Amino acid sequence: MVACSPNSTGARASAGRRLRRLVAAALFALAPCALPALDPALGVTQYVQQGWTTQEGLPQNTVSALLQTPDGYLWFGTEEGLVRFDGGSFTVFDKMNVAALRDNAVASLWCDASGALWIGTWGGDLLRMQGGAFQDMTGGTGPLRGGVWAVRGTPDGDHWAATSLGLLRFHEGARTLLTAKDGLPNDDLRALCLDGAGGLWIGTRSAGVFRMSDGRFESPPGTEALKGEGIWCLLVAGDGALWIGTSNGLVKLEGGRTTHFGKPDGLPEGGVRSLCEDRDGNLWVGIYGGGLCRFREGHFDTLASKNGFPDDAVIALLEDREGSLWAGTWGSGLVRLSRGKFLTYTTREGLPGNVMRSVCQDSSGALWAGTSGAGLSRFDGRSFTTFRKGHGLSGDSVRALLAARDGSLWVSTETGGLDHFADGRWKHFGETDGLAGDFVLCLQETRDGTLWAGTYGGGIARGKGGRFTVMTTRDGLPNNEVWCLHEDRAGRLWVGTTGGLAVLEGGRIRTYTAADGLASEVVVSAYESPSGSLWFGTGGGGLARFKDGKLTACTRRDGLHDDVVFQVLPDGLGNLWMSCNKGLFRVSLASLEDFADGRRERVSCDAFGKADGMGSSECMGGCQPAGCAARDGRLWFPTAEGLVVVDPAHLPTNTVPPPLSIEAFTADGKTVLSGGEAVVPAGAHNLEVRYAALSLRAPERVLFRYRLAGFDERWVEAGNRRVAYYTNVPPGRYRFEMTACNEDGVWNAAVRSVAVRVRPRFYQTLPFFAACAALALAASVGGYRLRVRQLRLRERRLVALVAERTSQLNEANEALEDANRRLTELSHRDPLTGVANRRRFEDVLQGEWRRAFRSGAPLAVLMSDVDSFKLYNDTHGHPEGDACLRSIAASFQSGLQRAGDLLARYGGEEFIVLLPDTALEHAAALADDLRAGVQALAIPHPGAAAAPVVTMSLGVAACRPADGGAPAELVAAADRALYLAKERGRNRVERA
């Protein structure tokens, strides 16, 4: 907040302004980029807001001072110590680890020209920290017995501190306290500010503001009106005006005149405790009790608890090097406002509700947005107009939308049917017009003017002339729950349903399911590329491309951000944008085509969420359109927390490369970094290097790479991990190097490094190696001849012994192999029936489960039980019961036709069958054949309730392991179906 002050004379004004312009131009030229700050065109509620409290690592939730040092670290003053933030973690300095700090309550921060940090406390401590060392600046006399509220350094090298006891000056190592007896108008000071003319502005607690120049104190014109005011903060703006925060509001001093701003001007009531001018010239005002205000073009916009800000007491402000605004609050910790890549509209901007369902654009360019329970809203680019049930809409929960070519609008609500809006009038179409009672999820107008409606359970309806005809599964649809409709260039109508994909052409319907390549049969969105490829978003199987009659899936395993794709929109730049429950993601269409054609193994995505400006990462799907590509190139998406818009062609990018820092280097837990070199003691096993990159806009997306030159052959891609680990590094000299990129992939071209020297143990030194080599040579010459003689004698004995033992070993191996074969067969076979036992079944089930998981094929299990078998045993005896079980096993075995099918005795009279690559319908049909085969044996069983012969009850279950679950759940499902068969009368087959 150091800038320039108003001028007391015309010459001084001219010189000051010239100096300010030159300094600003130099800073702009030296800056790595011109990063956009908080876009003033946005409402204050539309900035990305993120907060940190004690739950995230702050020692205390009152943040009274903010500063960013040239190395990129952010520093906070709290009531429980000084805090350093590197974007990933907080480091706290307090009385426990800083001997010179006697008071934890930090009141002020300042960074001098050398990069040293000055820290003033509420209790009167004043410290200077440089290179990690703290120096007590009170001269060793202890606290000043009054708070140190502000520190500033002048160009001549002096430093000044505003305290409760007067003005403290540091000049060439000497410390002087100026008070009323030295001409100071008031001893109780609260604020300091430098101007470009060499003056120091001073704000007092109760006597207004004055200026010091050339060692003299003066009250410039206009300051008389502030006498008696309590001054909390001062700021010289870029235009030379002095802004003054008082206990009663905001004051502007310019050209010797004061302008007061208060409640009549839109400024909330309360004391102004902090001021900050951002790089776009907007003035930010922190008010104790009134929240955070932005002053722009004579107008105040306020962020407070009533519109989403966490605290109404803002006492510190800072704009960082990346253009984000940081606010310290009295009790809610730290808050950051930044410009997101996305813009979110909520009830704060005029929407009637925040839970959005669908969005479209009509021929006039207006946007229509359907909400859940709050009606339909029209956005003309400036404001929202809402239509509800009382305005002619049939219901307030809107599902599907369609802007027709004739300029009218079709709307579906959860009450069922369709509403049509044309020429300012609403008309409802329902069951009397041929529409099914189920509500409509999607709409499509084909080129011939036909209206198609996909319903939730009622199939599709074709509208012509105000009448609708319905097509359902009876007409060939795979399922009656219809999620999306799309007419392709060839005039075919594609229908996405819960049971697969259908295409209507020439009055005939053809269907595509998992067997044709769909990773999920729930198809919820569609897009046709310029090349004619059709892309379908699914509810769990990612994307599916249809080209040349073939479907190809692309899922998370192939690099896609998520397997749920609610909407697919092109951006006109060669990318597809997709929405899901985890936010939005962008993929190059060319890379998707290359993947589907087999020219690349994976795709890569750019994912976006709350950190990019989305009010919620949960996008809405299930209704169409679940996104809209507007004619101005912007993309709109409905979410659970408002309507989100992004301009892909003008996506804000952080082009500031992150400053780099190596924070710590330890060996076996002990710090070894000193003087720019890490000296690792001999015998150390574990090395740990902690590093940071000071990009604070999205620190969770900062990516690192590092290497230990001389040890690592290539760079290690560490992702967002901020620590490197090494074990058992050999003795020698190395260099640890690291670099990083910010959230938008801008890498720091520089490399931060530190020299590393690993000391050897005594036995790893050259003298030790030389002595060992001499001893080894002498021993080897003497022992060589003796060893040769011994080896020749031993060779003859070994030849004979080897021949004898080889013969014995071959015989033993043959016997052992034969025994192992017999043992394996016995361990996998049921001794009574000769079929596989339970252990064999469980082993095979695990293997088939893994195979089905990789291929995406279904897997089925039949669980069977002999009806009333205890009664059979009691009546005929156990020998006859055993014979019955053997007959049933033989019948089942003959009924299984495929080599991969497995029959096993599961226990007692229970048999189980494993059917790989078998869907539920085929498994159920086979189960009924097996049941009939046993009944056809006609084994007498007069006492049975189901039939006078032996019968079986069977339970059938099937699943796709790729959809989740576990093998045990599949068996349990079949077992439940078996019990259901018994409860419903036995001698039957039930499906899970």
The pLDDT tens digits for 493-537 are: 999 999 999 999 988 999 999 999 999 999 999 999 999 999 999
Give the integer Cα–Cα distance in Å for 342 and 383: 18
User: What pLDDT is stored for residue 365 in this prediction?
Assistant: 94
Confidence of residue 22 (pLDDT cuts 50, 70, 90): very low
pLDDT of residue 14: 39
Confidence of residue 772 (pLDDT cuts 50, 70, 90): confident
Task: Find where tokens 């394996």 sit.
Answer: 824
Cα distance between residue 85 and residue 76, in whole Å: 8
- Mapped onto helix, strand or coil, the DSSP state of residue 496 is strand
- Give me Rg for the CA atoms of the chain: 39
Question: Which of 31-40, 784-793, 950-959 is modeled with the greatest confidence?
Answer: 950-959
- What DSSP assignment string belongs to 56-68? GT-S-S-EEEEEE
Question: Before 699, cis peptide (omega within 30)?
Answer: no
Q: Which of 139-143, 180-184, 232-236, 942-946 has the highest mean pLDDT?
A: 232-236
Interval 879-897 mean pLDDT: 92
CB neighbour list of residue 304: distance below 8 Å, 6 or more residues apart: 268, 290, 291, 292, 312
Confidence of residue 13 (pLDDT cuts 50, 70, 90): very low
CA atoms of 107 and 1, how far apart (whole Å): 16
Both tokens assigned to 119: 């820290």
Q: Residue 893 burial (CB < 10 Å; 0-12/13-18/19+)?
A: middle
Give me 834's structure tokens.
């000769």
Q: What is the pLDDT of residue 34?
A: 40
Lowest mean pLDDT among 8-17, 540-549, 801-810, 914-923: 8-17
Q: How far is CA 199 from CA 39, 152, 226, in A?
A: 32, 12, 19
Retrieve residue 701's tokens: 């997306």
Q: Examine the pLDDT at 855 and tell me if it is beyond 90.
A: no
Q: How high is the pLDDT of residue 141? A: 60
Distances (CA, A) of 89 to 318, 419, 690: 19, 54, 11
Report pLDDT digits (tens) over 126-137: 999 998 899 999
pLDDT at position 820 is: 67
- In this prediction, residue 6 has a pLDDT band, given cuts at 50, 70 and 90, of very low
Mean of the pLDDT values across residues 844-857?
91
Q: Which of 360-364, 623-627, 705-709, 831-835 has the lowest mean pLDDT?
A: 831-835
Check whether 16 has a pLDDT greater than 80: no
Tokens for 468, please give them: 């609708």
Cβ-based burial of 161 (10 A; exposed 0-12, middle 13-18, buried ≥19): buried
The structure tokens listed for 563 are 């397997």
Least confidently predicted of 15-24, 40-49, 578-587: 15-24
Residue 756: closest CA among 688, 694, 669, 658: 688
- Residues 6 or more apart from 439 whose CB is under 8 A from it? 399, 412, 413, 414, 415, 416, 417, 455, 456
Helix (H, G, I), strand (E, B) or coil at 942: coil
Residue pair 636/630 in contact (Cβ under 8 Å)? The answer is yes
Q: What is the pLDDT of residue 3?
A: 33
Tokens encoding 635: 């993309």
Checking if the pLDDT of 780 tops 90, the result is no
> Any idea what DSSP says for residue 832?
T
Torsion of CA 39, 40, 41, 45, to 10 degrees: 80
Interval 239-274: pLDDT, tens: 999 999 999 999 999 989 999 999 999 999 999 999
Of 154, 152, 213, 218, the C-alpha closest to 185 is 218
CB 911 within 8 A of CB 864: yes
Q: pLDDT tier at 897 (50, 70, 90 boundaries)?
A: confident
What was the pLDDT predicted at 275? 97
Q: Helices 878-895 and 920-936 meet at what angle, rounded to 10?
A: 140
The single-letter code of the amino acid at 305 is S
